[in-house]
A and B are shown apart, each in its own frame.
Chain A
Amino acid sequence: MGYVAVKGGEKAILNSEELLVAKTFGHESEPIEVHQILEQFALAVDRVMGEGGLYWPKLAAYALKQALGDSFEAAFLVRAFRSSVPRRGYTDPIDTRKMRVHRRISAAFKDVPGGQILGATPDYGLRFIRFDLFENLHQARIRAKKALENLARAGIPIPDSFPKIVDILREQGLLVSPPSAPRILTDITMETVSIPTSRSARLQFLARGETGGLLALAYSSMRGYGQIHPAIGELRVGDVPVYLEGKPLGWIRVTECEVISRMERGEDQDDPHFTMGYGLCFGQNELKAISMAVLDRTMQMDVCESPAQDQEFVLLHTDGIEAMGFCLHYKLPHYVTFQADLNQLRGVRRQKG
Chain B
Amino acid sequence: MFTLTEEVLRVQRCYRTLLHVLSRPGTLARLDLPIERKNRLVSVPSPLLLACECLLDEKVTVSGLTGRGRLWAEEISRGMRVKLAEPEEADFVLSGVEASTSELLSLKRGSLLAPEEGATLFVYVEEGIKGDAGLLGFAGPGVRGRLSLRVSAAVLDWASRRGKLCFEYPMGFEAFLFDREGNVLGIPRACEIEVLKPRRG
Residues of chain A touching chain B, judged by Cβ–Cβ distance below 8 Å, are: 55-59, 81, 84-89, 190, 242, 249-250
Contact = CB atoms under 8 A, between A and B. Distances in A.
Contacts of B158: none
Contact of A88 (B1, B15, B58): B58
B179 to A, nearest CB: 24
B53 A86 contact: yes
Contact of A57 (B2, B53, B81): B2
B12 A59 contact: no
A88 B4 contact: no
Contacts of B15: 84
**Which of A81, A84, A87, A242 has the most chain B CB within a 10 Å cutoff?**
A84
B4 A250 contact: no
A87 B59 contact: yes
Given A88-B58, A89-B58, A56 B12 contact: no
Nearest to A7: B144
A250 B53 contact: no
9 contacts: A55-B2, A57-B2, A58-B2, A59-B4, A85-B8, A86-B55, A87-B57, A88-B57, A88-B81
Contacts of A88: 57-58, 81
Nearest to B12: A84
Given A84-B12, A85-B11, A56 B2 contact: yes
A50 to B, nearest CB: 15
B56 interface: yes
How many chain B residues sit at the interface, stated as a range, is: 10 to 19
A243 to B, nearest CB: 12
Interface in B46-79: 53-59
Contact of A250 (B1, B55, B57, B80): B1
A344 to B, nearest CB: 29
Nearest to B2: A56
Contacts of A242: 1
A81 B12 CA distance: 8
A143 B55 CA distance: 51
A81 B8 CA distance: 11
B58 A87 contact: yes
Contacts of B12: 81, 84
Q: Which of A55, A85, A86, A87 has the most CB of B within 10 A?
A: A86
Contacts of A249: 1
Interface in B1-32: 1-2, 4, 8, 11-12, 15
Contacts of B11: 85
B57 A58 contact: no
Looking at B2, B15, B80, the one whose CB has the most chain A CB atoms below 10 A away is B2
A21 to B, nearest CB: 16
B81 to A, nearest CB: 8
Contacts of A87: 57-59
A58 B1 CA distance: 11
A235 B147 CA distance: 61
Looking at B1, B12, B80, B81, the one whose CB has the most chain A CB atoms below 10 A away is: B1
B92 to A, nearest CB: 12
Interface string B88-112: 0000000000000000000000000
Contact of A58 (B4, B53, B56, B81): B4
A250 B3 CA distance: 12
A130 to B, nearest CB: 32
A34 to B, nearest CB: 10
A206 to B, nearest CB: 23
A250 B58 CA distance: 22
Given A56-B2, A58-B4, 7 more contacts: A58-B2, A86-B53, A86-B54, A86-B56, A86-B57, A86-B80, A87-B59
